[in-house]
Amino acid sequence: MGFEINGKTYETDEEGYLVNLSEWDEEAAKYLAAEEKVDLTESHWEVINFLREYYNDYQIAPAVRVLTKAIGKKLGPEKGNSKYLYELFPYGPAKQACKIAGLPKPTGCI
């Protein structure tokens, strides 16, 4: 399973998550977002970039509280809440945003 953009192939799992984190680039993010029917704006990119930075440091996506706090600090307290994140990523900031950011899917009772 996978997709191809400009001759570059990206491998995905059954649920459409990238298999290799290192293959991710902006083109892949745009493709994955379109699949999720999410129109990427500057606000989405803020979240995506934070997710990738955090993953680099901790090998896991940030907890929702960590994410809302970081976004709140960066973009103002009115955006530091899960409601804002759900507006950006209606299927849930954890799973949908991770997918577009090329991170593995968070698993468990979530």
Partner 1 sequence: MAAPQFEVPKLTGYAETPAVKEGASAHIKSFPASESVQAAIGFPGGLVEDWHDKAIAKMGDLLNRYRSLRVFMDACVHCGACTDKCHYFLGTGDPKNMPVARQDLMRQVYRRHFTFAGKYFPALVGAKDLTEDLLQEWYTYYYQCSECRRCSVFCPYGIDTAEVTMAGREILDTVGIGQKYTNEIMGKLHKIGNNLGLPGPALANTLEGLEEDILDATGAPVKLPIDVKGAEILLVTPSADFFSEPHVESLVGYAKVFHATGASWTLSSKASEAGNFGMFIGSYENMRRAALRIREAALELGVKRIVVGECGHAWRVAYSFWNTLTGVGAGGADPFSIELQKQLDSRYPAPQHICEYTYDLIQQGKLNFDKSLNDHRVITFHDSCNVARGARMSDMPGGQFVIPREVIKAVANNFHDMAEETIGESTFCCGGGGGILSDDLMEIRVKGALPRMEAFNNVVQEHKVNFLALICAICKAQFTKVVPYYGFDMSMVGGVHQLVSTAILLVDERENENQE
Instruction: Check binding of 109 to partner 1 (CB under 8 A).
Output: yes
Please give the structure tokens belonging to residue 84.
């804002």
Which amino acid type is present at position 93? P
Q: How far is the CB of 26 from partner 1 (least distance, A)?
A: 21
Q: How far is the CB of 22 from partner 1 (least distance, A)?
A: 18
> Within its chain, how far is the Cα of 65 from the centroid?
15
Q: Which of 4, 37, 42, 109 is catalytic?
A: 109
Scanning residues 65 to 84, which ones bind partner 1 (CB under 8 A)?
A: 65-66, 69, 82
Instruction: Check binding of 110 to partner 1 (CB under 8 A).
Output: yes
Per CB under 8 A, the segment of 2-10, 14-22, 23-31, 42-50 that binds partner 1 is 14-22
* String of DSSP letters for 29-61: HHHHHHHTT----HHHHHHHHHHHHHHHHHSSP
User: What is the SS3 assignment for 63?
Assistant: coil
> At a CB cut-off of 8 Å and minimum separation 6, what does 8 contact?
27
Mask for 19-58, x = binds partner 1 (CB under 8 A): ----------------xxx--------------------x
Please give the structure tokens belonging to residue 85.
């994140």
